Structure 1
Amino acid sequence: MTSGLITHLIATYGYFAVFALIALESLGIPLPGETALIAASVYAGSTRHLDIVAIAAVASAAAIIGDNGGYWLGRRGGGALVARYGHIVRLDRRKLKVGRYLFARHGGSVVFFGRFISVLRTYSAFLAGLNRMPLVRFAAANAAGGVVWAAGYAAAAYALGSAAASLGSLVTLVGLGVTTVLTVVGALVLRRHMARLEERAEAMFPEVGHPEVTVAEPRLTRDAVGQCR
């Protein structure tokens, strides 16, 4: 999904577009929810066609509601869903093991801080349910992470949009350029860190796959064994 399309959706559908993209990403579908939040906030700051408080509230609600949906999907039928549809949403054996490792080591903090990390933002709620994280702990970490993430990103992007409105489009271009560079650098750092996490997860859980997945779909075990050979 291109930035132009996201901007068009926001200009056309406003808060509904922000809610849908963030909620679906939080549910476990890899969509640009964070980009939608930033784009909507910049749009609000530069045009005043949307209210920034409403954007932050909608984004918070979408993040919390979407994550709760992802949690219950993971808890109720996560194994079967991953075995059948995991490849569609890019949730493979390695991500399952990393999720299992992170929840075993860090618990609720994964849900809170995962809201600020691209890969975990999409899958953390589903993995929390799949790994049977207690509902009360999940709900508290999820609500706190959703509100802090939405308010923080909305305020920063709104300030950028407001500066662009008063000082000219150059400020927006510079700000977006810096954001792009930081995003690329962050992705590279995350990729290296993910590789380390995969090694640690493999060492902690040398058995193939995830218990919830292998029980639901034995065929996944044979595929995973083939990858390990």
Structure 2
Amino acid sequence: MPVDALLLSIPPVLVYLLVGGVIGIESLGIPLPGEVMLVGAALLSSRHDLAVDPAGVAAAAIIGAVIGDSIGYSIGRRFGMPLFDRLGQRFPRHFGPGHIAYAEGLFARWGTSAVFFGRFIALLRILAGPLAGALKMHYPRFLVANVTGAICWAGGTTALVYYAGMAAEHWLSRFSWVALLIAVLGGVIGTIALRGRVGTRIAELEAQHRLEREPVSE
């Protein structure tokens, strides 16, 4: 089946449910590609031959993010920090001591602002809800930061990708492939550099945690 025919056969409500579900589960604390799902759905909405509405995509993402974070908050508040010890043993690549220590440091420094800005950072997008609950953050304050962060992240990402998708043909007709390649590589390098800095800090915290747990020889 041609790709266009396949896309036309997808019901818009299924797209909205997938976006809300994946982002909700990710916000709950389970590593899933929520941002990839949001960007893909926003690109679909930029095609006028499809019935996917960008407002519907953004709304689904916001609802999923708010509900998922709230459930994650409840789980974190119920089980506390020992929950992350158990998760770290089973999923060290996502919930290792360095990851938790890094996220805790951001919460200690920024408070509820970490919940808001955490929506834009992959690590905090997964940890923000459960960690805020485990740290006993005041729920009304958490909810305000959660909702505003979800609106800015989901609405902003959807709008940016939607208008970029609509303008893609225009850009490609006016700029050379070399210029486009340079722009894409610049974005990729910037993302890798940011992740590298975060990864380095997490590795340092992991090493510090191991040293603290090693018995002191007499």
TM range (shorter): 0.7 to 0.9
Aligned residues of 2:45 and 2:54 also touching (Cα < 8 A): yes
CA distance in 2, matches of 1:30, 1:178: 29
Q: Which residue is equivalent to 2:17?
A: 16
Q: Which residue is equivalent to 1:163?
A: 167
Q: Which residue is equivalent to 1:43?
A: 44
**Cα distance change on mapping 1:51 and 1:177 into 2, 3 Å:** farther
Whether 1:182 and 2:187 are equivalent positions in the alignment is yes
CA distance in 1, matches of 2:35, 2:158: 10
CA distance in 2, matches of 1:161, 1:31: 24
- Equivalences, count: 203
User: 1:197 Cα deviation (Å)?
Assistant: 6.8
**Cα distance change on mapping 1:178 and 1:11 into 2, 3 Å:** farther
User: 1:179 Cα deviation (Å)?
Assistant: 5.8
Kindly, what percent of the aligned residue pairs are identical?
34
CA distance in 2, matches of 1:228, 1:93: 20
Aligned residues of 2:80 and 2:135 also touching (Cα < 8 A): no
Q: How does 1:35-184 map to 2 (within 5 A)?
A: 35-46=36-47, 47-86=49-88, 87-88=90-91, 90-164=94-168, 167=170, 178=183, 182-184=187-189
User: 1:228 Cα deviation (Å)?
Assistant: 10
User: Residue type matched to 1:101 in 2?
Assistant: G
Q: List per-residue Cα deviations over 1:128-186 (Å, max 9, x = no partner).
A: 1111111111111000000011110000111122224x649889x99899567525522
User: Residue type matched to 1:66 in 2?
Assistant: G
Q: List per-residue Cα deviations over 1:70-113 (Å, max 9, x = no partner).
A: 11111111434323333337201111212222211110110001
> Residue 225 of structure 1 is aligned with which of 209, 213, 217?
213
User: Residue type matched to 1:75 in 2?
Assistant: R
Structure having the higher Rg: 2
3-state DSSP of counterpart to 1:18: helix
After TM superposition, the score normalised by the length of structure 1 is 0.74
CA distance in 2, matches of 1:79, 1:14: 35
Cα RMSD (Å): 3.6
Q: Which residue is equivalent to 1:25?
A: 26
Any stretches of 5+ residues in structure 1 without a counterpart? 210-222
After TM superposition, the score normalised by the length of structure 2 is 0.77
Any stretches of 5+ residues in structure 2 without a counterpart? none
CA distance in 2, matches of 1:56, 1:228: 53
CA distance in 2, matches of 1:195, 1:79: 23
CA distance in 1, matches of 2:191, 2:161: 18
CA distance in 2, matches of 1:34, 1:127: 20
Aligned residues of 1:26 and 1:121 also touching (Cα < 8 A): yes
